[in-house]
Amino acid sequence: MSAEQAVLERNLDVYVQGSGPALLLAHGAGGGIEGNFGLVLDDLARDHTLIGPHYPGAGGTPVATEPLDPDELADALVASAVARGHETFVILGESLGTAIAVRAATRHPERVTGLVLTAGFPVADPVLAHASQLIALLGKAGEWEEVARLAFLACLSESQLNGLSPTEVEEAVAQVKASMPPGMLDHFDLVSRVDVRGDLTGVTAPALVFAPTGDRLVLPESSRRLAAGIQGATLIELPGAGHILDADNRALWLGHVRRFVASLGPISA
């Protein structure tokens, strides 16, 4: 690890819960550990140690002073688990976190024993690329309410949106705005630049890939490409699910994840 990577790892705000074999959590852009994994943290922590580093500008991690580097970020995530006594672990990546997880698996194959990739992408598809550009333009113009509106509308499925009244939509947009991390623009800048297509064939760890078919931010085909590129990967489609999984879809996700992790056998704690 370079000196810069070591400094980044020390500066990361890391969520830790539970005991047992480690699950390393890689969150998405503009989110955080509780925002992405909050519905399942307590369940998974019953028999695993959850290690959830926050990217620069998320959680309590300071905002980056330079553009985020996917290699340094992947190394820092791995280092955050190793520093807490875990030599091997499964990585659970969501959205941007899937690309970081793939990069970590190819840079540290001796440590990554499995991958769970949800609503992810090897490179930004046209919808995600344009959304990232809009978020950057709106954010730089100080139009943070519109950033929140775009993020909210993109992350819900059509059925979820149709079930909300106009008042509920406005309330939700206000909540999204209040929860957006300081590093949101840095995260989406990385979304627009990261490209792990060349890493997929180098992944040797077993992989479970989830494609929410109602995702309107990251096209379902992006998750399918992740699964197709990783030898032996299992693809599970979640019909109608949005980019952010609701309680019912997250419960389905949890069952599949638990069976997958159990199939990997003992992992050193």
Comparing C-alpha atoms, which of 153, 164, 146 is closest to residue 243? Answer: 153
pLDDT value, residue 4: 46
Q: Between these two residues, 97 and 31, which has the higher pLDDT value? A: 97
CA 65, distance to chain mean position in Å, is 22
pLDDT of residue 177: 95
Structural domains in the chain, sorted by start? 4-126+184-264 (3.40.50.1820)
Q: Spell 163-174 as b/e; 16+ CB within 10 A means b.
A: eeeeeeeeebbe
Q: What's the pLDDT tens digit per position in 90-129?
A: 999 999 999 999 999 999 999 999 999 999 999 999 999 9
Q: Per-residue pLDDT for 5 more than 50?
A: no
Indicate whether 205 pLDDT > 70.
Answer: yes
Q: Which of 67-71, 115-119, 157-161, 185-189 has the lowest mean pLDDT?
A: 157-161
Instruction: Name the band, by pLDDT with cuts 50, 70 and 90, for residue 267.
Output: low
| Least confident stretch, 76-90, 157-171, 207-221 | 157-171
Query: Are 203 and 93 contacting, i.e. CB atoms less than 8 angstroms apart?
Result: no
3-state DSSP percent of the chain in helix, strand and coil, to 5: 50, 15, 35
What is the mean predicted confidence (pLDDT) over 35-45? 96
225-239 mean pLDDT: 98
- Percent of the chain at pLDDT exceeding 90: 91
C-beta of residue 223 within 8 angstroms of C-beta of residue 82: no
Average pLDDT over residues 239-256: 96
Report whether pLDDT(7) > 50.
no
**Which backbone phi and psi does 10 adopt, to 5 degrees?**
-65, -30
Q: Is the pTM of this model over 0.85?
A: yes
- Looking at this protein, which amino acid is placed at residue 262? A
- CA distances for 152 relative to 16, 21, 79, angstroms: 28, 34, 32
β strands within the chain, DSSP E: 14-18, 22-26, 49-53, 89-94, 112-118, 207-212, 234-238
If you average pLDDT over every residue of the chain, what do you get?
94
